[in-house]
Structure 1
Amino acid sequence: MGQHFLPDDCAAFPARTQRGDSAEGWIMVMAIPYFCDSSFDSPVDIVSDTDGHALVLGVHGRWSSPFAATLRSNIHKCLAEQPPAILVDLTDLGDPDGRSTGLWLAAHRACGLQQPPVKLAICLPAATMLATRLRRNRGLRVLSVFASMPEARAALACGLPLPYQTQLIVQPEPQSASRARDLAAQACLDWRLEAIREATLTVISELVANSVEHAATHIRITLPRRGKGLYLAMHDKDPRLPKLLPCSPHEPGSPTLARGQGLRVVQAVANAWGARRSRSGKLVWATIRDRSW
């Protein structure tokens, strides 16, 4: 089962500033699914940018070792979605001494080692110690730091390629899963992703069926291409995150897959999957990649 963690060499060789600060035990292994159940007044929140092609990581709070662990966990979750870019808003980060410098440099290295690479942009006031320390570090040559979110968004928009993406809105009805499969099959054909066609159809069918049964709202299905794979996103109006039920024993004569076990199929087939709340409901996502690549 392919899982998308931060690469091991980031753990072995954590980024260091010129003053010798390390990324403080940067890597930890996280099991899928990647659930982000935080509310929007939490210290760290993850949302999709307005165009859906970047994730925005909002940071609110004072720097500390426990807070650093929370940040690492959320950056893991961002990278698992394989976004083209991650925009980190540090406007509300309380770090007067710039102690988090090593973490952001390590995050930048981890983004660059993804396949395909993920662009990382950081937004923070220019007069802060953190901004000063980043300027003094050689990592600034490649790490994008901006004074405002509009500036960062504009720069990212210029640097990102036009996405291959298709979208469909379906109603909470049984035939919606079939319509989603048709959409995914056509995307795999158009983008020459036949190697992941069956896995994609299996996962999208289960995700849509789960949303139809439990959310009972219309579903916006978005399929962007991510390198040699696909990102499947299901957005509905129900804020409750899905639950991965325990495996149930198979009784002779009963269906092979018991009711409520569809997400177990997603768990088995997808490279990574998860869910997070949005301002209008929730987003459930999965990544599918050719395992031979």
Structure 2
Amino acid sequence: MEPHPRADTNTAPPTQQPGEVERGRDEVEPGRDEVGRGPEVQSDRLRFLDLAARRIGRGVDLDETLRGLYEVAIPAFADVVLVHLREPLPTGEGQSAEPLVLRLHSFAQGPEGVVTAASAGAAGPVRPTVTGPFAELLLARQPVFGDVPEIESVVAELLESVASMPTAPAPAPAPAPAPGRRLILAPLCGRRHLLGTVALLRAAGRPAFTADDLLVAAQLGTHTALGVDASMPYGHEASAADALQLRMLPSSLPETTGVRLASRYLPGAETSQVGGDWYDAIPLPGNRVALVVGDVMGHSMTSAAMMGQLRTTVQTLARLDLPPEEVLYHLDEQAQRLGSEHMATCLYAIYDPISQRLLVADAGHPPPLLLHPDGSGEVLQVPPGAPIGVGGVPFQTLELPAPTGGTLVLYTDGLVESRHTDVSTGMELLRGRLEAVAARVAPPPLDMLCDAVLTLLDPDARDDDVALLAARFDGFPPLNVAYWFLSPQPQTAGRARQLTRRALHRWGLGSMLDATELMVSEVVTNAVRYASRPIALRLLRTDVLRCEVGDDSPQVPRMRRAQAGDEGGRGLFLVDHLALRWGATMLSTGKVVWFEQQIPEEYRQRGPDAA
């Protein structure tokens, strides 16, 4: 049997604010004082159904559709509305053969006439059997009163659910002859599938439902089912966009010597579409780290996809070790080549724990905040550039000290801007919150700091994503660094071995001397072969001993197996065999070849210059 036809939904929408129920001056709620008012009651019923069609049809997602039903039906038609939807909701053309598992969504009339939501699923899912009488009634697509003998057990569960709702009126007693006439159970039949059921209950003191009210209930169920049907593609797209965005964000932050990192990400309000906020932390040669935060303008699948493309581009550019302004310049070029109307803001910073300096460039993004070691906060005055995608606008890099113990906070505008707060006010609030946390705990743990910052958000006024990245500057002890520039001459490899020997003796790492000297000699010899400018040799001591050799040649060395008669070709094979790990990093000015060795535990603990 086909569902009841829908009322005309092309009528202009009502002028009341969202959440209000439109009332005609002489409108009478269906089911109240109907005796002796036949034509007028029918007219009232039609006006009520017209209102229901417009209000329920306004919903763009599942929550709004169900709220529309509740606002229309309570208290005009019922005192309690229980909606059970299939879980998961069926999709596709054919009838689902899965068991009919329903999940509870419940609303009731609360204090002072306010419609209040009970906890969804608090009473647990109802699990009727597909072959049982209840399922047969639902599949027949007809509303029924609660006094149908075949569904007595279901009615008992529904009444038990109502009794557990703190805002629900007490269930009606069992006056003869029709105790079930205070409950109507109507199926929710979508275009292709049975989606669930809606139960409408009246409390004691109100007239029982009539046969005409079954028609009203059927119409309410039809409008709700069509609204749920229409919201399913939106829900699937939003879910896919959310998954896409979360997959593009870093699953974890890198652990680098000299800086500690923490991050937070909060999606926008449930009624808004997915945005394009992102953050990243990218290790660079020399124990430096690039800190990035960006925001693609707009909220859509396109925004999320463009965010992923821009983030990948930033990672590629960062590994070329370009200055911040150059990274933003090339990122702007790439955004224009994408041919999208979307623009983005981005802030790119490089922290060097050895020199304890910070380089920052800005492309239309809110400036970062620096929480100094003494607990004072500062909004960094970074030269503002145009957003990514504008084109033709140069970017500038600001260089400033990065004090040990300081904390840099990067964020997107969703943290400092809302419907009630402008960006400038929001940044001052953020600075005040950072200072307040530092006043209580010095220095504040990064996770505590991030959580405290998020308390600034107003859930009722926020509709944008929030990305937050915090970096604590630990610095790098100068005594744990050895740095030289060597001319590319045949005797340079010997000089490099001599300098390495001195540094390792100073650090109390004599047991590592033979292997380290051999690897340094091989890597420096390879650099001398191709370099035209001085070679940089740097040793870093942390939990590992790291050696970096930089030259101006773009040719990256490749490991190969030497033949029996070859005089060379075994250098990288030895490095690969002796080192804990090794690699080569391309730079805009050449390359850096590096390797690391594990320092024995006893030397890490008692070395003279241990960090």
1:242 aligns with 2:556: yes
1:56 aligns with 2:370: no
CA distance in 1 between counterparts of 2:539 and 2:528 reads 18
Q: Which residue of 1 aligns with 2:58?
A: none
- The answer to whether the Cα contact below 8 Å between 2:535 and 2:550 also exists between their aligned partners in 1 is yes
- Any idea what SS the aligned residue of 1:211 has? helix
Match of 1:194 in 2: 510
- Residue 128 of structure 1 and its aligned partner are, at CA, apart by 3.6
**Structure 2 residue 265 is the aligned partner of structure 1 residue 265:** no
* Amino acid in structure 2 at the alignment position of 1:221: L
Amino acid of the structure 1 residue aligned with 2:575: V
Q: Report the aligned-residue RMSD.
A: 4.9
Matches for 1:69-80 after TM superposition, within 5 Å: none
The CA deviation at 1:208 is 0.3
- Take 1:61 and 1:276, find their aligned partners in 2: how far apart are those partners? 28
Shift of 1:281: 2.4
Once residues 84 and 69 of structure 1 are traced to their aligned partners in structure 2, the CA distance between those partners, rounded to angstroms, is 24
Question: Is 1:124 paired with 2:410?
Answer: yes
- How far, CA to CA, are the matches of 1:285 and 1:143 in structure 2? 34
CA contact (8 A) 2:581 2:595 kept: yes
Whether contact under 8 Å (2:482, 2:503) holds in the other structure is yes
1:241-274, Cα deviation, whole Å (9 max, x unpaired): 42313324x42xx35xx42331222122111222
Letter in 1 for 2:448: R
Q: 1:211 to 1:161 in 2, by over 3 A?
A: closer
Identify the residue that residue 448 of structure 2 maps to in structure 1: 141
Higher relative contact order (CA 8 A, sep 6+): 1
Give the drift of 1:291: 6.1
Show the 5 A alignment for 1:156-175.
Answer: 156=473, 159-163=474-478, 164-175=480-491
Verify the 8 A CA contact 1:208 1:234 in the aligned structure 2.
yes
What residue identity is the alignment partner of 1:245?
Answer: M
Partner of 2:519: helix, strand, or coil? helix
Match of 1:210 among 523, 526, 538: 526
Task: Check conservation: 1:58, 1:90, Cα contact below 8 A.
Answer: no
Report if aligned partners of 2:293, 2:410 keep a CA contact under 8 Å in 1.
no
Give the match for residue 289 of structure 1.
Answer: 598
Contact 2:583 2:595 in 1 (8 A): yes
- Per the alignment, residue 159 of structure 2 pairs with none
Q: Max radius of gyration: which structure?
A: 2
CA shift in 2, pair 1:55/1:292, >3 Å: same
What is the CA-CA distance between 1:211 and the residue it aligns to? 0.3
Deviation at 1:213, TM superposition (A): 0.8
Quick check: 1:217–1:236 contact (8 Å CA) kept in 2?
A: yes
Task: Indicate conservation of the 8 Å contact 2:295/2:412, yes or no.
Answer: no
Read off the aligned partner of 2:548 and give its amino acid letter.
A
Please say if residues 91 and 125 of structure 1, whose CA atoms lie closer than 8 Å, have aligned partners that are also in contact.
no
8 Å Cα contact 2:539/2:547 also seen in 1: yes
Tell me, in whole angstroms, the C-alpha distance in 2 between the residues paired with 1:290 and 1:130.
45
- Cα deviation, 1:29-60, whole Å, max 9, x if unaligned, reads xxxxxxxxxxxxxx997645xxx552325577
Give, as a single letter, the amino acid of the residue that structure 1 aligns with 2:551: D
Paired residues of 1:56 and 1:88 also in contact (CA < 8 A): no
Deviation of the 1:285 alpha carbon: 1.6
**Structure 1 counterpart of 2:410, which letter?**
L
**Could you say which residue in structure 2 is the equivalent of 1:278?**
587
Q: 1:212 to 1:162 in 2, by over 3 A?
A: same
Q: How many Å separate the matches in 2 of 1:123 and 1:25?
A: 17
Counterpart of 1:244 in structure 2: which amino acid? R
Mapped pair 1:220 → 2:536: yes
- Distance in 1 (alpha carbons) for counterparts of 2:578 and 2:538: 19
* Letter of the 1:124 counterpart: L
2:547 matched to which residue of 1? Answer: 232
**TM-score with structure 1 length normalisation?**
0.52
TM-score, length-scaled by structure 2 = 0.27
**Which ranges in structure 1 are unaligned for 5 or more consecutive residues?**
1-20, 28-42, 78-82, 95-118, 147-151
Local SS of the residue matching 1:124? strand
SS of residue in 1 equivalent to 2:514: helix
- Does the aligned pair in 2 maintain the 1:47–1:278 contact within 8 Å? no
Contact 1:91 1:123 in 2 (8 A): no
Matches of 1:130 and 1:181, distance apart in 2: 54
Q: In the superposition, relative to structure 1, how do residues 143 and 44 fare at CA in structure 2: closer, same or farther (>3 Å)?
A: closer
